[in-house]
Amino acid sequence: MKPVIKVVVAVLITGAVGYWLLARSPQIKRNVALRDSIAYWAAGNLLIHRQNPYAHLTVLEIERAAGYQDQRPLVLRTPPWSLFLVVEVGLLNAFWAWVFWILLSIVSLFAGMRLCAKMYGGRTPPNLMTIVGYTFAPIPACLVSGQMGLVLMLGVVLFLWLEPRSPFGAGAALILPFAKPHLLMAFWLVLVIWVIHRRNHQVALGFISTLALTIGVAVAFDLQIFRQYLEMLHAAAIGNEFIPAFSVVLRLLFFRRLFWVQFIPMAVGVIWCLFFYARNAPCWDWRKHGPALAVVSMLVTPYEWLSDEAILLPAILQALALVYAVRDRLHIRSKIAIVAFALLNLLLLLILKSKVPFSTGIYFWSSMVWFMWYFQARKWYSQRSTPQERQLLTHPPS
């Protein structure tokens, strides 16, 4: 009887969502032009018609036709091998492209949550993991903005899930987060060292094969795609933009004229990650250690937005599982700190609900919150867990 009930519920929910979309389609169509997904639609549209998807003037013309009113176009800035993600939305109009992208993001979220629950759930109540996961501030931020953070997150989760049983598939899954490689610089470096050290050629082969395939897709549509991408980066002058990342804000506060300073945190983070790998190399486990690399990489990257931090969902849920395992042995100060972390996340949600633009810089501190939450959770667990419980951190479930 239960499967029948699930099917009925799924049909009712689908029908309700469909009715809501139809009833509010005029208002939604007006708002579609305000979402970042319009940049994906414009790039896909141009690519299908074998035009330059990175051309500012052409992109602006297409976006204006869809209701976009800003003077500056939203141009896709991800590299050519990521264009396979947007080709299909170019076949649709701007509205249905947004619907497709939101559905893709929701499916990625559901799949990522389910796999994270299997990897890190342990004895943590499923409802608690669900609540924490779905209210993790970057998740709604990604859905509201129409960004690709949830798709990137799914790629990381698939890598962690597949690596023990299907190394080739794990490597192939990494093409998704590689759409924004700067977000996980330390992660990529350790991955390369690990592949060489462990001679795990299947992971490398899976990634390289998929990368070659996606590059082939982009080049098949536009032979000049890499030249056009480099020209777009040069014209965009990203170094002159305000990006609300921790390293950028740090540079603007203390070393405004020294652009190179914002790369110092990344260098420090890379060095830390190399020591972290060296210390744990004999017992390296991507499910155990990978989230730590992601958290540090996100903190020190010189270019990121709140929606990009959705990629840290596995780390947030792993930390939750560790804290829940030792909840009865935590001091009152630790419990107060947990409440403080929850309130900071709530504050981000309230700022997001108030529709404060990401570009204002008010969200710059979010990556520091996830960093402190994750490593504080690991510290509490290492201090309060029994040898038997410590297996959760040492040997995550397969």
Q: Please report whether residue 25 resides in a domain.
A: no
Q: What is the pLDDT of residues 293-345, one digit of tens each?
A: 999 999 998 888 889 999 999 999 999 999 998 888 889 999 999 999 999 99
Q: Please report whether residue 308 resides in a domain.
A: yes
CA-CA distance, 291 to 320, in Å (whole number)?
13
Report the domain count for the chain. Answer: 1
CA distances from residue 251 to 246, 271, 308, 369 in whole angstroms, order as listed: 9, 20, 20, 19
For 301, residues 6+ apart whose C-beta sits below 8 A from its C-beta are 182, 183, 184, 185, 245, 247, 266
Choice between 248 and 7, residue whose per-residue pLDDT is larger: 248
Q: Please report whether residue 30 resides in a domain.
A: no
Indicate the DSSP class of residue 200: -
> Which pLDDT score is estimated for 47?
92
Q: What is the pLDDT of residues 44-65, one digit of tens each?
A: 999 998 999 998 888 888 888 8
Q: What is the pLDDT of residues 71-106, one digit of tens each?
A: 888 888 899 999 999 998 888 888 888 888 999 999
Domain of 261 in residue numbering reads as 101-394
Indicate the DSSP class of residue 264: H
Contact between 323 and 372 (Cβ < 8 Å): no
Q: Please report whether residue 241 resides in a domain.
A: yes
Q: Please report whether residue 95 resides in a domain.
A: no
Q: Please report whether residue 257 resides in a domain.
A: yes
> Which pLDDT score is estimated for 31?
60
List the single range of 34-43, 111-120, 363-372 with lowest mean pLDDT. Answer: 34-43
CA distances from residue 137 to 18, 35, 179, 353 in whole angstroms, order as listed: 26, 18, 22, 10
For 144, residues 6+ apart whose C-beta sits below 8 A from its C-beta are 352
For residue 76, give the nearest of 218, 246, 242, 252 by alpha carbon. 218
Cβ burial of 9 (10 Å; 0-12, 13-18, 19+) is exposed
Is residue 394's pLDDT more than 50? no
Residue 166 banded pLDDT, cuts 50, 70, 90: very high
For residue 396, give the nearest of 165, 118, 202, 157 by alpha carbon. 118
CA-CA distance, 314 to 302, in Å (whole number)?
22
> Which pLDDT score is estimated for 26?
56
Cβ burial of 355 (10 Å; 0-12, 13-18, 19+) is exposed
CA angle 319/325/330 to nearest 5° reads 90
Is residue 217's pLDDT more than 50? yes
For 101, residues 6+ apart whose C-beta sits below 8 A from its C-beta are 37, 40, 89, 146
Number of H helices, E strands in the chain: 19, 0
Contact between 33 and 94 (Cβ < 8 Å): yes
Beta carbons within 10 angstroms of residue 359's beta carbon: 12
For residue 305, give the nearest of 257, 364, 255 by alpha carbon. 364
Q: Stretch 180-203: mean pLDDT, rounded? A: 93
Q: Please report whether residue 278 resides in a domain.
A: yes
Q: Please report whether residue 315 resides in a domain.
A: yes
CA distances from residue 213 to 11, 149, 209, 379 in whole angstroms, order as listed: 36, 22, 6, 42
